[in-house]
Amino acid sequence: ERGRVVDVGGGCDVVGRLAEMGIGEGSDLRMLRPGQPCIVAIGNQRISFRGETAAMVLVETNGHT
């Protein structure tokens, strides 16, 4: 499933780290594997998240958040 990031919440260190990986407001991403760990694709990159990090990224898919 594909989506667009509409908000990234958390402490400055987490938000900054996600931004360095290309995850910020307006970023397009694709879910490769939900669950623990969650794996998403951003462009040609594959990124894995632990649950607490993934929960800080709000994504809109097909007009729904």
- Output the DSSP codes for the chain: -EEEEEEE-S-HHHHHHHHHTT-STT-EEEEEE-SSSEEEEETTEEEEE-HHHHTTEEEEBTTB-
pLDDT at 64: 65
pLDDT at 51: 66
pLDDT at 1: 87
The pLDDT averaged over each successive group of 10 residues in the chain (65 residues) is: 92 87 93 90 90 75 71
pLDDT at 52: 66
